[in-house]
Amino acid sequence: MTCVLVTGMSGVGKSSLLRELARRGHRTVDTDYGDYFETVDGERLWRTDRIDALLTSAPESGSLFVQGTTRNQTLFYPRFEHIVLLSAPAEILIERLAARTDNPYGKDSAELAETLENLETVEPLLREDATLEVVTTVPVARVADIVLTHVL
């Protein structure tokens, strides 16, 4: 099985990409849901037991696309064949966070400020380990095409 991590800031289109990949028949897991996170000292971190179980139980064939962005994701980098960073300019993130209806994160001014700060401080760190970066200013179907061409 090819395991692919899809990561990036809030609003870049990670969940939209996973929906498109699932529509195309790929196995996807959005770690924002399903008890994959725990809060430690006020910070949301991946539950290492749940992520380990997810990656260990992956079938031998096909692809698994896992979406998430958290400080401790680096612990699992060796378990992913590809780390795909989705990115977008700040003004696009602001528009998307304001307009989205499936997730309230980013509508609060403090959450928006945190996202923009992370764009400056966290995204460069994610870029260092990414095997592919896709700027998501193109339609999600095109993003999926780019990702699949790279990882399959």
Tell me: the pLDDT tens digits for 83-92?
Answer: 999 999 999 9
Residue 109's pLDDT band, with cuts at 50, 70 and 90, is confident
* Pair of tokens at residue 124: 């460069």
For residues 80-106, give the mean pLDDT. 91
For residues 52-67, give the mean pLDDT. 89
For residues 89-99, give the mean pLDDT. 93
Report the mean per-residue pLDDT for the chain: 94
Please report, for the chain, the start and end positions of each structural domain, with discontinuous segments joined by +.
2-151
> What pTM was computed for the model?
0.94
Sign of the C-alpha dihedral computed for residues 59, 35, 116 and 101 taken in this order: positive
Domain 2-151 sits in CATH 3.40.50.300: yes
Q: What span, in angstroms and rounded, lies between the C-alpha atoms of 133 and 144? A: 12
pLDDT for position 41: 94
pLDDT for position 101: 82
Tell me: the pLDDT tens digits for 2-16?
Answer: 999 999 999 999 999
Instruction: Count the alpha carbons within 13 Å of 52 in the hemisphere toward its beta carbon.
Output: 5
